[in-house]
Structures are given as C-alpha cells and as structure tokens.
Amino acid sequence: MYEKVMSLNQATDLIKDGMLLGIGGNGMHRTPTIFSMALTQKPVKELKICGTALGLAADILFATNQADTAYFGFFGLENEAGLAPGMRKAMEGAEPKARAIEGS
C-alpha cells in the first residue's frame, strides 16, 4: 500500500509556484500553521489559497508574499486578534499583490 505519511520537509517540497492550496481549519483553530511556516523557507510564489475560514496559516503566506489570490468565505483571526494583517497589507498596498475572488 502507498505510504501517505511524510516529513514536513517532504510535504513542502511538493509545493510549486502557482499551485492552488486547500487550507483547512477555522481562523486560528486547527490550521496547518507549522506547514505554512516551513513553506516560508521555500522559494515558492504566486500561490492560490482556498478555504472556508482562512486564518493564521494562510495569513503567513500572504505576509511573506508567497500567496497572491484567496478564495474564501471568511479570512481573519477571529475575535482574539481581528483581521488577518498579512492579507490586509497585501490587499491594501500601493500596488496590491493580492486579490480576493468572491463566490457567485
């Protein structure tokens, strides 16, 4: 049977420029934050992020300019910390590098 367990480094090595990443969790809870932190050590860019309630793990990728597009229902750090600062900075910049795509 195919082994599905791999190291964090092996998992981040699978990520390439422009990929669409589905990120689970809910805001600041049950998110793959350590994965996102490890991914910041890789030279990937133009990632697309998709999730129901994006939060800390996705915000890290926007703060490091590795992600440029988000598909989401909610993007924030819940009541504990407010709006996601990395995503907000990317979207409000003089030349925004990020964009949000609204659902239909």
Interval 37-78: pLDDT, tens = 999 999 999 999 999 989 999 999 999 999 999 898 888 887
Domain with residue 79: its CATH number is: 3.40.1080.10
Quote the pLDDT of residue 92: 80
Tokens coding 39: 């991914």
Q: What is the DSSP letter of 26?
A: B
Provide the residue type at 13 as one letter.
D
Give residue 18's domain range.
12-101
Q: CA neighbours within 13 Å on the CB side: how many for 17?
A: 2
Quote the pLDDT of residue 36: 96
SS3 53: strand
Q: How many domains is the chain built from?
A: 1
Residue 29: closest CA among 11, 51, 62: 51
Please state the rounded mean pLDDT for residues 13-34: 93
Quote the pLDDT of residue 94: 55
Quote the pLDDT of residue 104: 45
Is 1 a member of any domain?
no
Quote the pLDDT of residue 73: 84
